Amino acid sequence: MNLSPDLAHICRVALAAGTLVHQSGGDTARTARTMQRVALALGAQTAHTVVSSLNLGVTVAHADQHLTSFHKAPHMGVNFRTLTGVERALAGLEAGRVGSARFMVLLDRLARQPAYYPRWLTVATVGLACGAFAALFQGDLAAVVVTSMGAGLGTWLRLWLAHRHYKPFIFATAAAAVAATATGLLAAWWSATPEAAVAASVLFLIPGVPLINGAADLLTGNYLNGGVRLTMGAVFVLGIGIGMSLALRVLP
């Protein structure tokens, strides 16, 4: 059977949108819903999707023709700016304000856009956030300062290792060890509450989005993907624990 080129185009566009959502921190239900909405907006009569941790699939149908297409889509991280951009572009496509070609241009622009914040700003703000946690843990002013410094150093190392494609267990362990060691050594000299400083210095590694999405997947019946996301969160937690253990063996 000669498949309609329109169906091939619909699959390609739907998978492109789903990939962006999947790689930017969207849960299973959101990724599947995005692909279905794109396919229906482009003229498919029905659309069925498959979302796994590493692959996306969509089957579209029109009249008596069907086409199934799959695409590899490994998880890349969290980018709420991209999620919002895809949602806005999709709303325009459904309302008829954006055509298929323009929609693909918008998706490509979202995929190619650089990181929204420069690395130095991310390091500084994450360090300050961990310093604020030290204050919440009843740490003194010196504890807040050294926590900000140590967590900033750990954040820089995490970003550096992630950019070089090290696995989460590796960069979580290394970043936790460096952040806790640096914070602990500085706090031992300057702070009267070193415990609060060390405890707060690794909180930037807590995998909030994977844990939330994993719970959401379980509640919506996507048990396999939910288990994968929760396992990813457990890997981060294990890395934090090992890194902290290494640091505590070094600290006086």
Rounded mean pLDDT for each run of 10 residues along the chain, 252 residues in total = 69 95 91 96 93 92 90 80 94 93 94 82 96 96 97 96 90 96 94 95 92 90 88 93 94 80
**Global pTM value:** 0.80
Contacts of residue 157, Cβ cutoff 8 Å, sequence gap at least 6: 171, 174, 175, 178, 179
Q: Contact, 48 vs 92, CB < 8 A? A: no
Structure confidence by residue, pLDDT tens digits, 100-157: 999 999 999 998 887 678 899 999 999 999 999 999 999 999 999 999 999 999 999 9
CA 87 → CA 34, 175, 205, distances in Å?
8, 34, 28
Question: Can you list the alpha helix ranges (DSSP code H) found in the chain?
Answer: 5-23, 28-41, 80-95, 100-112, 119-136, 141-163, 168-190, 194-200, 208-219, 223-250
- Dist CA 70 CA 58 (whole Å): 7
Token pair, residue 168, equals 């989460």
Token pair, residue 16, equals 């492109």
- Dist CA 151 CA 202 (whole Å): 6
Cβ atoms within 10 A of the Cβ of 192, count?
A: 10
Domains of the chain, residue spans: 5-112, 119-250
Task: Give the SS3 label for residue 200.
Answer: helix
